[in-house]
Amino acid sequence: MKKQTNKQIKSETMKTKFVPNIKSQLLRGRVISAKLPKTVTVLVESIKTHPLYQKTYKRSKKYLANDEVGVSLGDIVELVKIRPISKNKHFKIERVVGKNIAAVVTEQLKEQTEKVIAEIMPEKKEEVISDEEKVMSQKKEKKETKKIRKEKLVTRP
């Protein structure tokens, strides 16, 4: 076999119009951060086997992905490799495989408990005291305590 140079490879691909499959790398991971606009951080975990000792171990890697779907924290998503959008962002979210089950369940439990608590213990309306009124009452208490201290000091023989 003869080695081909880059120019020969490029000319052959231009002739045949062969485009390599960009979607060849499909990753599945969990969204761990969704703080940036239209960008999420996805943690992809894989299980590998050591070649000599045959022990399995976990490897994890974080990828920045373009988020046009609008995923939330904890969702399971599939990533597809695309052209670079920025320095570190080379993936986009293909689809959402699963929602964050823990968050959905906790929300449902909170709603149910709030309903039950509202039925059992109805809330009493309390007087609303503003911050200014609190500060004024504290100042009055301080003045009264100072007066009492002065009176005690004066009455001593």
Name which of 51, 47, 96 is nearest 69 in CA terms: 96
Band of residue 46 on the pLDDT scale cut at 50, 70, 90: very high
- Domain of residue 67 covers 21-104
Could you give the CA distance from residue 111 to residue 119 in angstroms, rounded to a whole number?
13
- Please check the confidence at residue 21 and state whether its pLDDT lies above 70: no
115 within a domain of the structure (yes/no): no
Q: Does 49 map to a domain?
A: yes
pLDDT at 94: 92
Instruction: Kindly give, in sequence order, each residue whose CB lies less than 8 Å from that of residue 47, ignoring residues fewer than 6 positions away.
Output: 56, 57, 58, 59
Residue written as tokens 């979210």? 93
- The answer to the question of residue 4 being in a domain is no
The sign of the torsion formed by the CA atoms of 91, 42, 75, 49 equals: positive
The predicted model gives 4-21 an average pLDDT of 57
Asked whether residue 26 is assigned to any structural domain, the reply reads yes
User: How many domains, in total, are found in the chain?
Assistant: 1
Alpha-carbon gap, residue 42 to 45, rounded angstroms: 10
Q: What is the pLDDT of residues 73-88, one digit of tens each?
A: 989 999 999 999 999 9
Taking only the tens place, the pLDDT of each residue in 108-142 is 888 888 888 888 877 665 556 677 777 888 888 88
**Is residue 137 in a domain?**
no
Is 94 a member of any domain?
A: yes
pLDDT at 39: 96
Structure confidence at residue 5 as a pLDDT band (50, 70, 90): low
pLDDT recorded at residue 30: 93
Instruction: State residue 82's pLDDT score.
Output: 92
Q: What CATH number does residue 93 fall under? A: 2.40.50.140
Q: Which residue has the tokens 């979607």?
A: 23
